[in-house]
């Protein structure tokens, strides 16, 4: 409950006293790598407005989607859920790419078929929900 | 310069050294996270017995006579593992000596979930032959020690887990001897040069 209301409260407060211009984030080059039990979604967020933050993702009917980040610690690969979302600076770009930040989809309802597409909803702190079509491809 | 000022400068120096010492102490030994820290290069690898994606025992003897690139991963890994395998597949094409130039070997670090059938499904995604091996937990522990890698389960939100693991690719020659490594943050050009060297004899 507290978890759910805090971002909302933060968003309201930000909206009330933030003089920044409205964000205008577009989602480009979205693709999802289909694997038997999980999938990774990559895209570029291009912002032509004020700052925003990608808080959460949802892939309804596809599987459990969450924001993840792969990082290298010496030679060791670690993957963790991203807490607090992904910041998108004003007039900035953020890339979700292999071996870095990505959307992970677990518990796939059924294997993704290359050539098809899935719908992914991105929840931004200020801009709200944006739903995009993501084309399914093999690993590369 | 009077004595007071010299004393001040000396104390400042003592302070600086103390701070530097503290920083070094807090960072810990820098080499502790490197692979091959406890093993010399020639000790990497050796004979192993795992389970093939057909469920049958797979002995390292079956790899003899041809170099191979061995990588540790797991099928619930959607990011680095497929990226690494897809890259090895691409580089093998670029070497230009066909799929027989060297074998691509994936070894699971998640024997609990990675059944031979799961490994077969995963390996089949790369459009090129990939030898996908799993095994009992002791067998996997054995090959981890053989290559001096670490892999540990890390719980995730939801009853799920991920496996943090060494993401180094090990290049072994036709005699099964260690030749080189490819790290994930190494450029394609350097990696290709190593694979060409590996397959040049």
pLDDT tens-digit map of B56-90:
999 999 999 999 999 999 999 999 999 999 999 99
Predicted pLDDT of residue B40: 67
Question: How much of chain A, in percent, has pLDDT values that exceed 70?
Answer: 86
- Chain A: residues touching B (Cβ < 8 Å): 33-40, 64, 66, 68, 70, 72-81, 98-99, 102, 104-106, 138-140
Among B38, B74, B79, most A C-beta atoms within 10 A, so best to mutate, is B79
Mean pLDDT of A107-119: 92
Report if pTM > 0.95: no
**CA–CA distance from A46 to each of A50, A87, A96 (Å)?**
11, 12, 11
Predicted pLDDT of residue A139: 86
Q: What is the DSSP letter of B38?
A: S
Mean pLDDT of A54-79: 95
Closest CA–CA distance from residue B109 to any residue of chain A (Å) = 12
Interface touch B79/A139, C-beta < 8 Å? no
| Residue B52 pLDDT exceeds 90 | yes
Considering only residues A135 and A15, tell me which one the structure prediction assigns the higher pLDDT.
A135
ipTM over 0.90: no
Closest CA–CA distance from residue A29 to any residue of chain B (Å) = 17
Considering only residues A103 and B201, tell me which one the structure prediction assigns the higher pLDDT.
A103
């Amino acid at each position: 409950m507290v978890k759910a209301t805090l971002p909302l409260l933060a968003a309201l407060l930000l909206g009330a006293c933030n003089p920044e211009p409205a964000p205008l984030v577009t989602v480009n080059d979205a693709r999802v790598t289909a694997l038997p039990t999980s999938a990774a979604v990559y895209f570029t967020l291009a912002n032509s407005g004020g700052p925003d933050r990608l808080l959460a993702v949802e892939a309804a009917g596809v599987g459990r989607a969450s924001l993840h980040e792969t990082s290298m610690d010496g030679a060791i690969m670690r993957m963790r859920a991203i807490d607090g979302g992904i910041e998108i600076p004003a007039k900035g770009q953020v890339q979700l790419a292999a071996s870095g930040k990505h959307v992970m989809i677990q518990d796939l309802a059924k294997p993704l078929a290359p050539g098809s597409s899935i719908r992914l909803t991105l929840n931004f702190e200020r801009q709200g929900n944006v739903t995009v079509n993501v084309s399914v491809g093999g690993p590369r | 310069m009077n004595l007071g000022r010299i004393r001040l400068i000396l104390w400042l120096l003592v302070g600086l050294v103390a701070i530097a010492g503290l920083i070094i102490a807090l960072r810990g030994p820098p080499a502790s996270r490197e692979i091959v820290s406890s093993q010399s290069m020639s000790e990497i690898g050796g004979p192993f017995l795992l389970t093939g994606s057909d469920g049958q025992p797979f002995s390292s003897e079956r790899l003899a006579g041809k170099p191979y690139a061995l990588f540790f991963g797991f099928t619930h890994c959607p990011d680095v593992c497929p990226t690494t395998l897809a890259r090895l597949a691409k580089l093998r094409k670029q070497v230009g000596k066909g799929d027989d130039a060297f074998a691509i070997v994936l070894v699971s670090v998640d024997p609990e979930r990675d059944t031979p059938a799961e490994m077969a499904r995963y390996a089949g995604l790369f459009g090129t032959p990939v030898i996908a091996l799993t095994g009992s937990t002791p067998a996997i522990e054995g090959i981890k020690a053989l290559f001096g890698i670490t892999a540990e389960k890390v719980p995730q939100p939801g009853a799920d887990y991920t496996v943090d693991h060494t993401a180094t690719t090990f290049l072994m020659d036709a005699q099964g001897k260690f030749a080189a490594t490819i790290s994930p943050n190494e450029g394609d050009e350097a990696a290709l040069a190593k694979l060409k060297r590996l397959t040049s004899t």
